[in-house]
Amino acid sequence: MGSKDVHEISEKIQSMEIRGAGKIARSAAEALRQFAKDSDEESIDEFLSQLREAGGVLISSRPSAVSLPNSVRYILHRVENTRVDDVEELKEAAIKIADEFIKNSVEAVEKIGLYGAKRIEDGDTVMTHCNSAAALEVIKSAWGEGKDIRVIASEARPRYQGHITVRELAAEGIPVTLIVDSAVRAVMKQVDKVVVGADSIAANGAVINKIGTSQIALCAHEARVRFFVAAETYKFHPETSLGDIVEIEERDPSEVADPADFEGVNIRNLAFDVTPPEYIDLIVTEKGVIPAQAAIMIIKEEFGWAVGGRW
């Protein structure tokens, strides 16, 4: 049944078997698509209420990547506004809408790659952090254009998504070096540009991304190295324009160290941090390249309907 898939996907998002803000958003869309496909609800109202409930389960999986609620609300909003005569038609519409979100998302990452690559020059050393499909698309796209670049990637403790990144780049033949997170400042003088992804972007242009990102931005700022963020427009957080604050996920301490080995010690596992807009040179989106301070414009354009009447 569809709701089983919804719970399964939600658990995989929680455990990070499914991870990366864009992937999470697409998986939520896939879950709702499957839900609509399997649904045996016979009335429009009942189907809508079940679909909303499924959306709620998905949204509650992880708190910091706004791509997740944005993908759910993209689908719900459009399904709720589809005029149909019977429930089967509405289910079909839901499937199409979910497919549309997934297609747009994949295309957005490709466009970000193309636009972002224009800012990478032949001979550049590019630093990245964690494992962002959007950031890596910029790097791969520049490499694909024949630019002779090299990459320095940090580990991204405690989950070591940096390992995924270095393997992915090495598989493309891109020269890549793995460093520990605390080596960032020591090597910053060898870096020409930093490219990272985003889980959420607030209305003031602050970027919420994997823990450690803001330290890298600070080091880049100090060394006058340009700092780019690669993010699809569904990573922009509409409610921050109404004063909401992005919740920073704090995960299980056992991901950092076994609490049994550290009796009397408080272990914290903050998954994300906030990079202020002053440290960001530009944000590369599928709609174009913008300064961080223009985040509010993207929110108004893309999500005016979501916070409609509340501005």
Closest CA to 66 of 311, 308, 298, 310: 298
Instruction: Determine the interface stretch with ligand RI2 among 19-27, 51-59, 115-123, 290-298 (rule: CB under 6 A).
Output: 19-27
Whether 182 contacts 219, CB under 8 Å: no
Min dist CB 269 to ligand RI2, Å, is 11
Interacting span for ligand RI2 (CB under 6 A) from 36-44, 131-139, 254-262, 273-281: 131-139
Pairing state between β 282-285 and 226-230: parallel
Out of 2, 5, 6, 22, the residue judged to bind ligand RI2 by CB under 6 A: 22
Q: Binding of ligand RI2 at residue 197 (CB under 6 A)?
A: yes
Please say if 199 is a catalytic residue: yes
Pairing of strands 125-128, 150-154: parallel
Catalytic residue among 5, 124, 181, 199: 199
Contact yes or no for 308/256 (Cβ under 8 A)? no
Among 39, 71, 209, 241, binds ligand RI2 (CB under 6 A): 209
List, edge to edge, every strand of the sheet that includes 272-275. 200-201, 207-210, 272-275
- CA-to-CA dists, residue 63 to 129, 202, 239, 272, angstroms: 20, 14, 13, 11
C-alpha span between 295 and 201 (Å, rounded): 7
Q: Is 130 in the site for ligand RI2 (CB under 6 A)?
A: yes
Binds ligand RI2 (CB under 6 A): choice among 9, 10, 20, 31: 20
Q: Determine, following the binding rule CB under 6 A, whether residue 165 of this chain makes contact with ligand RI2.
A: no
Closer of 199 and 239 to ligand RI2 (Cβ): 199
Nearer to ligand RI2, 82 or 104 (CB): 104
